Structure 1
Amino acid sequence: MKFNDVNICTFFDHQGIQFSIPAYQRAYSWEGLQTKVFLEDLLEHKNSDKANPYCYGNILLETIKEGKKYEIIDGQQRITTLSIFMRCLLNIFSERKKNGKVFKISDGSELDIVFQEDTYFVNHGIIKLCPTHYDKLCFDSIIIENKDTFICTTPSQERMLAAKRFFTDELHKLKDEDLVAIFETIDNARVNSIELHGKKESALMFELQNNRGKELTNLEKLKSFLMYQLYVYSPTEETDSNIEYVSNCFNPIYSCVSRISLQLGDDEDDWSGQMVSEDNILIYHSYAYSKKNFNYRNINDIITEFKDVPKENKVAWIKDYASKLKDSFLSIENILTMNDSYLDKLKNMKIPFFVYPFLIKGFPKKESLPKLFHLMEVISFRYKLINSRADIRGRLNDLIRTFDGDVELLSHEMKAKMEEAYYWSDRKFVEILNGAMYQKGRTNPLTIYFLWEYEQYLQRKGYIISGKIKIADESIEHISPQTEPDEKVTSGYEIDETGFYTKEFRENYINKLGNLMLISQSHNSSIGNNPFKDKLKSYIENPILRQQAHIKDFVADMKNLVWDSKSIDLRHDEMLKFACKRWSFNI
């Protein structure tokens, strides 16, 4: 281990030296807040006591070739940001120099822009900083080649480009003397570079280092812990190879995280309802494979589990854990891109947290995935419909612990487990469907989801509209219209002699499934509280959805065209039979 307390200029200014960021490290992660603080620190320091140089902290380096090539073990975010910043600063100097400006530094000499570019970017054809492979193309383009645009393919590339634009915009606002002061602040800033020899030293120091900048994710903390434990428990001759094995497992994990983030864009919870972030995938993996399963809380549970492993098995445990964790990340990524109708329904419904572990463990048996997606859609719909305060995790713990991809066995076990508690039973499911399925003043996405599924069922019974059926601004139509208690109802509905709904009808029928229908918002608004015969005519003449034209089949009195409790009960019974079959565990 070698310690070097040098200034930033000396750190970079070695002919032929190259710093690279190993593949198992995360991609560039600094965002607006971190880059803003970086600049604010420099602006604050330029006005402070120059006797105390700016401190850039520790940089951990693994020596690949003495004096020539190093891997950055800790400090990659700071070094990458510094490189981006220096490119922007030197660009501003170059622009103003073309306009006749001369920049003098403290020793009276003129600032040599070409020399600084050789120092920080490329010297004798050797690029000073090589980011991870998924950032390198962008970095080389906008920093080394100094291009202003780049077509980004990952979120980390977008962050690099955003950082360059931010620093460029902010530096343009500063006076010449301020730019020179910032340059000298950086050039003289102190950095303590720690050169480590071999991966076991790197693992030990990374574990002990107090990282600056953006806080480590739980995944990164866990990686650090695992590598340090390999250092502790590996036979000396196997240490490097064991640490390399775990590093190689984390390489595809971080690549996977970048690709998933790109697919989801800014709204990471749009796909699932639970953010598909690296930390959450770690949680789903732990639900699937840890001893606590759904009772897993945080990475301390993993650490505790590791401590219980016999000493002679610890290295094998770590390698097996890292390999399975890699597989879990890749499984989630692959599932994101799959084309399956029930998976699409899961996505539309927003996937509950407990589904992911089953998907992770079931993914290897790809031939069973369609049935697994179907089963997960069933339990998800019932879970969201029942919405009980009872914790479903306790009922699923034994199931996820023993699940090995056999979906038929899982469906039987899940049905039995749910029937053990009234809250999750078929009786509770039917009870809720028999109640009010619409609440005024609230969104009713689950009822809309139900009505869309009912529509597909009706389509299969008769004609089928090709492609995906869509209606503009879907809404829920009350066939017997909603009215205020003191508002009279028009003709064709079950009303008393004074023209009002009875209390029983209002409480038990208005919001019942049999009285609810999917319709466009414009159609809904146009028919409002019209007489039933007018409503029915509009349904029949505008049968975009089969359930609209289907209403006439439940009218008990076609002569007088009355939509009453008998009609609602008839339609409700059919919808209930559909639901009990559609969301049965007997897939």
Structure 2
Amino acid sequence: MEASSTIRNMLANNRIVVPTYQRAYAWDTPAEGSTRVSQTAVFLSDLEAYRSSNSRSPYYFGHFLFEQTQGEYRVIDGQQRLTTITLFLAALFACLQAKRALTEDEQDCYKDMIKRESQIRFKTVGYDNQTFVDYVINQSRTVAPASLTTSAQRLINAFDFFKKKLGSQPEAFLTDMLRIVSQASCSTHPVRDEAEAIQMFIFQNNRGKRPSNLEVVKAQFMYAIHLHSEDQQARDNLIEEIQNRFETIYKSISAIDYRINEDDVLQHTLRVHFNSLWESGALDRIEKMLTAESPLEFVKDFTSSLATSFEHLTAFFGADERSSFPIHSLVSLGGIGIVLPFILKAYSFGLPLPDKNQLCVAFESLIIRHRLIGTRADITSRINDTYEAFTSDAPAIGPILENIERLKTVGSGWWAYWNNEKLAEA
């Protein structure tokens, strides 16, 4: 792979994949009739502006970092752009073929940048790749699967967006766009060691547009495995386990997206894992654990806890909310972050739905009281002791309910901010 290249030459005769420690496709697409600016809309408008400018210099797509392995290149930095380029080209070829047969040069261009026989040039993250292949590359299905990760839905949305926009354009516009993108310039830098690649990913993203904390943690965990594994077999086994955990996590994110931020789930999981509501600063805490003794035990245990948290919140915001008015009422109230560590424990302890309902009712009354009275009094300091005592060895919710009732009736002192008299005054 040449340091200075074109998009066509970079893709031709190469197999480029998105590795597991990379974030999935994250670019948004504007909804039908929306005037909101999105990354895919900007991508297209920039190309249209370049076409109108009649510039003699090639369009520039920026710099790409790769980890070079036997037979493939893994994207370290630039995968959002590269994924979008592939989505755009796949839509462009589909629209061009709808108008007429591809010329011989266009067929060669397709083989260089999209697919030659069974060899697909670009592969996205594993849990999204089959959808990507079926819907975008082969276009063998036109209806999205019933169960999708959020990132897979974004892939479909972007492809449909480009296909609709390009489908209404004349043939000359399409051929111009194919020429612009295929001949666009770019620069590349491959490295050969996966541990170095992960380090570069963390370095690049800490100095550019940051990924989510969850994605940074995933990269840190993968690097720790490479750094501390005793042998190849142990490393491969743990990497496979972490990959499977994160596949579960991403599928759960698809179900609870727009209900709770993935980084908030990371923070709540820390509070459950270390049994304290005072846990904050997820990245600092995790970095500290990775430099302590037995970092790989922490990676294994915490990733399991994280996947479990996402599974439980999928149930809480999904089937359980639909069947339980107390849960639905609490969720509708919003601002319930302080409650969720209790909820995650309740699910982990296997408590029945009536107990979860009682927790939701009690905390809802406390949150409403806090908002109505408008006090700055801190909730965490008043419930953390009860939270720490709520364990698998003592899973009863009675002490939690009693503590909340005590906050409503205490007559004096700094605990009295939320009592019934203050509520009546408010």
TM-score interval, smaller chain = 0.7 to 0.9
Q: 1:358 aligns with which of 342, 347, 366?
A: 342
Instruction: Tell me by how many angstroms 1:193 deviates.
Output: 4.6
Gaps of 5+ in 2: 30-37
Equivalent positions of 1:92-491 (< 5 A) are: 92-97=95-100, 112-146=105-139, 149-153=142-146, 154=148, 155-172=150-167, 177-197=172-192, 199-210=194-205, 215-235=210-230, 237=232, 239=235, 241-261=237-257, 268=258, 275-290=259-274, 293-303=276-286, 305-306=288-289, 310=292, 312-336=293-317, 337-338=319-320, 339-340=323-324, 342-350=326-334, 352-368=336-352, 370-387=354-371, 388=373, 389=375, 390-405=377-392, 406=395, 407-412=397-402, 415=405, 422=412, 428-431=418-421, 434=424
Residue of structure 2 in register with 1:489 after alignment: none
Q: Indicate conservation of the 8 Å contact 2:6/2:186, yes or no.
A: yes
Q: Indicate conservation of the 8 Å contact 1:219/1:279, yes or no.
A: yes
Residue of structure 2 in register with 1:35 after alignment: 40
Instruction: Tell me by how many angstroms 1:39 deviates.
Output: 1.9
Structure 2 Cα separation of the partners of residues 425 and 301 of structure 1? 32
Q: Per-residue displacement from partner, 1:41-78 (whole Å, max 9, x unpaired)?
A: 33344436544552342143462xx23x4544543322
Structure 2 Cα separation of the partners of residues 89 and 213 of structure 1? 30
Distance 1:200 1:50, change over 3 A: same
Residue of structure 2 in register with 1:8 after alignment: 7
Q: Indicate conservation of the 8 Å contact 1:138/1:150, yes or no.
A: no
Q: Per-residue displacement from partner, 1:211-241 (whole Å, max 9, x unpaired)?
A: 8997512211222233334444444655555
Secondary structure at the counterpart of residue 336 of structure 2: coil
Q: Which range moved further: 178-187 or 208-217?
A: 208-217
Q: Per-residue displacement from partner, 1:366-419 (whole Å, max 9, x unpaired)?
A: 135532431232132133124342121221223333421412344445555776
Instruction: Tell me by how many angstroms 1:85 deviates.
Output: 0.6
Instruction: Tell me by how many angstroms 1:355 deviates.
Output: 0.9
Instruction: Tell me by how many angstroms 1:195 deviates.
Output: 4.5
Distance 1:206 1:23, change over 3 A: closer
Secondary structure at the counterpart of residue 294 of structure 2: helix
Residue of structure 1 in register with 2:34 after alignment: none
Structure 2 Cα separation of the partners of residues 212 and 127 of structure 1? 32
Instruction: Among all aligned residue pairs of Structure 1 and Structure 2, give the percentage whose two residues are the same amino acid.
Output: 25
Instruction: Tell me by how many angstroms 1:170 deviates.
Output: 3.4
Distance 1:402 1:136, change over 3 A: same
Q: Indicate conservation of the 8 Å contact 1:386/1:432, yes or no.
A: no
Q: Which range moved further: 410-419 or 394-403?
A: 410-419
Q: Indicate conservation of the 8 Å contact 2:16/2:75, yes or no.
A: yes
Q: Which range moved further: 161-170 or 421-430?
A: 421-430
Distance 1:87 1:213, change over 3 A: farther
- Tell me which structure has the larger Cα radius of gyration: 1
Equivalent positions of 1:549-560 (< 5 A) are: none
Structure 2 Cα separation of the partners of residues 201 and 3 of structure 1? 20
State the TM-score, normalizing by the size of structure 2.
Answer: 0.79
Structure 2 Cα separation of the partners of residues 325 and 27 of structure 1? 18
Q: Per-residue displacement from partner, 1:113-157 (whole Å, max 9, x unpaired)?
A: 322332233322233334345534443343223368423543434
Gaps of 5+ in 1: 104-109, 262-267, 269-274, 437-587
Structure 2 Cα separation of the partners of residues 163 and 251 of structure 1? 22
Give 1:40's aligned amino acid: S
Instruction: Tell me by how many angstroms 1:24 deviates.
Output: 5.9
Structure 2 Cα separation of the partners of residues 424 and 151 of structure 1? 55
Structure 2 Cα separation of the partners of residues 212 and 80 of structure 1? 21
Give 1:248's aligned amino acid: N
RMSD of the TM alignment (CA)? 3.7
Distance 1:211 1:169, change over 3 A: farther
| Structure showing the higher helix proportion among its residues | 2
Q: Per-residue displacement from partner, 1:409-452 (whole Å, max 9, x unpaired)?
A: 4444555577668589799543256568xxxxxxxxxxxxxxxx
Equivalent positions of 1:531-570 (< 5 A) are: none
Q: Indicate conservation of the 8 Å contact 2:383/2:403, yes or no.
A: no
- Higher relative contact order, chain-length normalized (CA < 8 Å, sep 6+): 2
Structure 2 Cα separation of the partners of residues 214 and 159 of structure 1? 19
Secondary structure at the counterpart of residue 294 of structure 1: coil
Q: Indicate conservation of the 8 Å contact 2:58/2:184, yes or no.
A: no
Secondary structure at the counterpart of residue 276 of structure 1: coil
State the TM-score, normalizing by the size of structure 1.
Answer: 0.59
Structure 1 Cα separation of the partners of residues 177 and 417 of structure 2? 71
Residue of structure 2 in register with 1:472 after alignment: none
Structure 1 Cα separation of the partners of residues 389 and 2 of structure 2? 51
